[in-house]
Structure formats: C-alpha cells, structure tokens
Amino acid sequence: MNVVSFYRFFEVVDPETTANRLRTRLENLDLVGTLLIANEGVNASLAHQDLDSLKHAVQLVETSTGTSSLRAKYSTARPDNPVFYRLKVKVRDEIIQFGKPLTSSDPLGVHVQVNEWNELLDDPDVLVLDIRNDYEIEAGAFENAVPIGIGRFAEFGSRIESLLEAHGKSTIAMYCTGGIRCEKASNALLASGCEAVYQLDGGVLGYLETVKPNESRWHGECFVFDQRVSVDAKLSQGSYDQCHACRRATSEEHKQSKLYVKSVSCPYCFHETSAQQKAQFTERAKQEALANARGKRHLGALQP
C-alpha cells in the first residue's frame, strides 16, 4: 500500500465547493484517507495500492484549488494494511487545529534543509524544540531536542512563555512530522518575541526522505496518524502497534509488560483508566472481533 501526504497554506476562496468537487473525483479513484480544506489551505494523507493513482490525486487537488507544488511526500505500508478505513473530504476552519488560521501576511519561520538542520542540532545557542505530542515522541526523536510537553497541538500556545523562560534562548529551531504544525508554531513564537525561528523543511518525513544514512541524527521511528502507527528510516511501515485505549505507540517490549492487555491497556495508560473504562474497552474488543469474523468493521473501532 502506498501513502501520500501533503499540505499547503494558501487562500482557498470557496472551500465548500472545492471539497464537493474533489470528493467526487477522489472517490472515483477509490482512494482512502483524509483531505481537509479550509480558507487557509489544504492538508491531506491518502492511500492506494497504485502509486500512479496517488500521483493523479495530487494533480487533481492542485488543479481544483488553483495551486501547485504541493511537495507530496510518499511512503509505504504493508500490503495487508489499508492504512485508512475510508475516504473523508472535510471543510474545516483550520487545516491543523490551533485556534488561529494563518493568513498570507503572517510571519513564519525560516525553512532549513538537512545540512543546516544538523548544524542547528549542535549549536549551543539554539533551543531545538520537538513540537509533537508526547506520545509521538516516545517512538523516536532527534538527539538534543527538547519536547514541549503537550498531549495535543492546540496546547502549544499555553507552553510558549514557560519554555522561553526556562531555557532563556531567543533562537529556536523546531520540527514536527511533516512541517504543517511548525508553520503555525513559528508564527506564534515570532509573535512572542523570539528573535529567530527555524523549522525543518518537510518535517521528519522530509528529512528521512533526503538525508544520507550516515548523516542522520534521527533516532527511532516516526509516529504517523494512521494504521501504520510509525514509519522507519526508509519510510516503510514501522514496528510499532497502537494502544486502543490511549493511542500511544506500543513496542514489542511494551507488550511483554503485565500491564499490557490488547485493546484494553498498555504500560503508559494502565493507571490512567478506571476499572469501568477497562471493562468498556474489553467489551469493545469483543464486539470488534465479532464484527471482523462477519467480515465487517465494528463502528466503535479505533479511528486513526
């Protein structure tokens, strides 16, 4: 299975009409995945067995929105993994939830490539921020990076002041999975008085796509928001599964813990859920198994 992800911030004049037009065209290609459209731009992750179908989908989005150079990033999943359950084309206020849409006049961070990024990682005067959610970081991260300590990206704004005070640095370098979160985070940091803000162009996925193995500073795998859970350094499906209770990435080591119960709990969340919740998760797992046995998907199944 092939996967493509892309985003771009630009003005979409009529998101509703654009979404309706694209929904029909993408359905005809028999794709699965999600395409979000807002006045501020587009954000998508789509999957199909045929790579050419995905490339055609990217062209359709470019044509329908009047943009170009979506800089699509391609990766793969195991043949038996559909990656997504169905196709969703949705209109949103934002293509990545933050609480403030971007406009063309908003200042953004400076995009840097692999060589520059590696230099920033070693610069003692630069604060390197991993702006992903905590559960993503558990699967892999860049050396010397500081996690911002959030459970969802919308919390980023509330962490800015304390982060800057704690580290006392006005030059920031940041990264996320594909780059989209850095666009909004960099604007927020600049508005908070940071003198210089850099962001890894293309995010972790772009880095892994272009860096030479002997020059890579990435450790572990990269968490992704679909049924693959993670991808490795070659952008192929990684080794992690996902806990159905808390959505954290779970390794084979985690599964050996007495706190791990498939579809119910993992070492991270065992003490975060009540006995009643665990009973509900157990019942959900039973219903999913029954639905799978009938060749159907249980409606309560975990969404990517």
Distances (CA, A) of 207 to 184, 195, 234: 19, 25, 11
DSSP state of 236: S
Which residues does 124 contact at the CB level (< 8 Å), separation at least 6? none
CA angle 4, 111, 179 (to 5 degrees): 35
DSSP code, position 265:
B
Rounded Cα–Cα distance for residues 24 and 43 (Å): 17
Helix (H) or strand (E) holding 43: strand 41-48
176 is catalytic: yes
Catalytic residue among 176, 182, 194, 269: 176
DSSP 273: S
299 in helix, strand or coil? Answer: coil
Lateral strand order in the sheet of 41-48? 73-76, 2-9, 41-48, 32-38, 87-91
Q: Name which of 74, 7, 84 is nearest 38 in CA terms.
A: 7
- Report the distance separating Cα 175 and Cα 54, nearest Å: 26
CB 202 within 8 A of CB 209: yes
User: What residues are paired with 32 via a beta bridge?
Assistant: 47
Decide: helix, strand or coil at residue 177: coil
- Whether residue 39 contacts residue 19, with contact meaning beta carbons closer than 8 Å, is answered with no
Token pair recorded at residue 24 = 């029909």
Report the C-alpha gap between 72 and 36 in whole angstroms.
15
Active site residues per annotation: 176
